[in-house]
Amino acid sequence: MLVWIGILVLTFVISVVSLAFFRSRGDGSAAVRNISLGLVAVAAVATAGFGIVHSLNAVVILLHLGVFFLGTEVADAVLGAAANKKHRGVLPVVAAAILGCIVYLLAGYVSAHTVRRAEVSVETAKALPNDGLRIVLLSDVHLGTTMDDEDLAKLLQRIADEKPDIVAVAGDLIDGSTEQESMMRACGAFAALAKVCDVYYVDGNHEVEDSSERTLASLHEELAKNGVRVLCDEVVLTDGGCYVVGRRDRSDSRKSIAALTEGLEADRFCIVMDHQPNDFDAESRAAVDLVLCGHTHGGFLLPIPWVAPFVPGFFDADRFVGTEVRGTTNFVVSAGAGTWGISFKTGAWSDYTVIDVR
């Protein structure tokens, strides 16, 4: 309810700012009529959608309809003033806003539901098994939002076809709305993958949170039963001679990266799995070689990826998806294979990341 009230307040502020703009252009009366009618229509449609599905999708639609309506109003006023023409009226403006919003969110829907393959190359002077190492980073499935257990099984087959040495599941495989039976089927889908490569898992913030649908212990138990190694502030030495460090999520009580890596052999390649990209400086000081993160979803919706990197302390990553190097440490942040709460993603495509280390 507080979120909904906040959205309505934001809509009111946008309307006030737009009215001031149009009046400065000398087209105040038409703008008042159009904005009033348009915002009433937007609020009615979004409220109905929110009441029917009771989800954040209605809020997203409301925001985008408001932005597109405001954009078409501004464009119409500016172009009309430049051509010395009168305002076109409410119907063309509202129609253009709705059409633009539909096309834009349809593209966002496709981006959220289409899991692309991202590829990263990392170089190291350290010895590697068979002179190379292929790692697949999978994060933020959020089972039940844009992907169900059958979709996950198909995705895991795609990942198996990459012939990886290691699959790193970097948290938020499920969340609070994931049903127990769906979770168990999803964990079962890892069994085939675990037969062909090492599969490691760390918790994300959504697994740590309490849920009436399942327990964290039951998730860990089902993953382990299907061959997935669950790491909770633990270090594993793989058969290939690499370290895999699995960190608890920063929303949980956890050890520092310095404590986890103390005493590790410096000549071995060291991989860190850390769901949230918020500890880059400490991880680079620990001189680990590769850090694998998720959580950001590529910024979810524009303009979040453009604005949030300038918010101090929001994330350590300069970007919401991609790679970064600090000293000798390579950081890879995945946009995630799914979304949380909404069915749209305009900040980035959903993805899994193939990392070739040479």
Amino acid 1: pLDDT: 43
In this prediction, the residues of the chain whose per-residue pLDDT falls under 50 are: 1-5
Per the omega criterion (within 30 degrees of 0), is the bond before 303 cis?
Answer: yes
Whether pTM > 0.85 for this model: the answer is: no
Q: What would the DSSP string read from start to end of 24-41?
A: HTT-HHHHHHHHHHHHHH
> The CATH number of 115-357 is which of 3.30.470.30, 3.40.50.720, 3.30.1300.10, 3.60.21.10?
3.60.21.10
Q: What would the DSSP string read from start to end of 116-174?
A: EEEEEEE--SSB-GGG-EEEEEE----TTSS--HHHHHHHHHHHHHT--SEEEE-S-SS
Quote the crossing angle between the two packed helices 28-53 and 2-24, to the nearest 10°: 160
Sorted by where each begins, the domain ranges of the chain are 2-111, 115-357
Mapping DSSP to helix (H, G, I), strand (E, B) and coil, where does residue 246 land? strand
Q: Under 8 Å CB-to-CB from 40, ≥6 apart: which residues?
A: none
Cα separation of 212 and 38, whole Å? 40
Structure tokens at 319: 């970007």
Amino acid 203: pLDDT: 96
Q: Under 8 Å CB-to-CB from 333, ≥6 apart: which residues?
A: 277, 293, 294, 295, 296, 317, 319, 320, 321, 322, 323, 324
What tens digit of pLDDT does each residue of 246-301 get?
999 998 999 999 999 999 999 999 999 999 999 999 999 998 999 999 999 998 89
What tens digit of pLDDT does each residue of 88-127 get?
566 677 778 888 888 999 999 999 999 999 999 999 999 8
Amino acid 184: pLDDT: 93
